[in-house]
Amino acid sequence: MARVADKIALVTGAASGIGRAAALALAHEGAHVIATDIDLDGAESVADEIRRTNRRAIALKHDVSREGEWRTAIDATVSEFGRLDVLVNNAGIGPSKPLLETSLEDWHGVMRINLDGVFLGVRMGVEAMRSLPSRPRQRPGSIVNLSSILGLVGMAETAAYSASKGGVRLLTKSTALECAEKGYDVRINSIHPGFTWTPMVQSAVKRMASAEADEEAIRTALTALHPLGRMGTADDIAAAVVYLASDESSFMTGAELVIDGGYSAR
């Protein structure tokens, strides 16, 4: 039996890395997928790959920092598929900058995507998914928010990113409690990946390379932060997304799932 059979799942930032892997893994386990991203070509290629496996999928151009584009994405989902069961708030950016070089504009740029984007997704997702006496849910709803180990512990030169991911962690808990209290039948949980070998980390490694440390040396140093001796893969994180999206996790809400090879255990 497929683990998320016939659930309707919207994944943001689905063109690349963790979002792409999550969209494919959800489809593999029986979901129909709305793949959204600012990179429409990338989202289209994920939707094409899913349709080749006989699941339904559409791609949408969607900037998560824009309220109007959220409205359009949710409306398109409901008009195409009739409802929304799973929302994966994955889109994010991962710049790093020394504190003294971080302008207010830099700060707001990160917050707009990583925190405002998740807030808008949760608010509109809950609005679309909640169970009402007049409209009881056919399937329980699940929202999965991508935070980070940097939403749990700090790291130098990541002030804005860490603050945004810490915000996602507690936004998750507060909204999960509110949904439970109000009987909406929507669970909300966060995932906290360690360094995961995606285009985000690959380009960060390129940026950090210098005369003293080449890309290979930086990759080795980042790997060494993880007691299991490797960085994560997008599929490691996608497995957690499928679990939280599925009814296997039906007693989890407001929880934080840490998938970090032991990074934050010491």
Ligand X SMILES: NC(=O)c1ccc[n+]([C@@H]2O[C@H](COP(=O)([O-])OP(=O)(O)OC[C@H]3O[C@@H](n4cnc5c(N)ncnc54)[C@H](O)[C@@H]3O)[C@@H](O)[C@H]2O)c1
Residues annotated as catalytic (active site), given as ranges: 161
What tokens were used for 70? 């959220």
User: Which own/partner pairs from 245-249 qualify as long-range (CB within 8 Å, at least 24 positions apart)?
Assistant: 245/4, 245/7, 245/9, 245/26, 245/31, 245/86, 245/88, 245/142, 245/144, 246/3, 246/4, 246/29, 246/142, 247/139, 247/140, 248/3, 249/142, 249/187, 249/189
Residue 199 touches ligand X, criterion: CB under 6 A: yes
What tokens were used for 52? 């080749």
Residue 106 touches ligand X, criterion: CB under 6 A: no
To the nearest whole angstrom, how small is the minimum distance from the Cβ of residue 44 to ligand X?
Answer: 12
Residue 113 touches ligand X, criterion: CB under 6 A: yes
C-beta closer to ligand X: residue 40 or 180: 40
Strand partners, 191: 146, 257
Residue 95 touches ligand X, criterion: CB under 6 A: no
Residue 110 touches ligand X, criterion: CB under 6 A: no
To the nearest whole angstrom, how small is the minimum distance from the Cβ of residue 213 to ligand X?
Answer: 19
Residue 254 touches ligand X, criterion: CB under 6 A: no
| Stretch of 49-57, 195-203, 206-214, 245-253 contacting ligand X, by CB under 6 A | 195-203
Residue 201 touches ligand X, criterion: CB under 6 A: yes
To the nearest whole angstrom, how small is the minimum distance from the Cβ of residue 98 to ligand X?
Answer: 19
**For the chain, how many residues are written?**
266
C-beta closer to ligand X: residue 16 or 77: 16
Instruction: Report CA-CA distances (Å) from 65 to 117, 161, 167, 193, 197.
Output: 5, 15, 15, 22, 25
Exactly one of 2, 6, 30, 39 binds ligand X (CB under 6 A); that residue is 39
Residue 263 touches ligand X, criterion: CB under 6 A: no
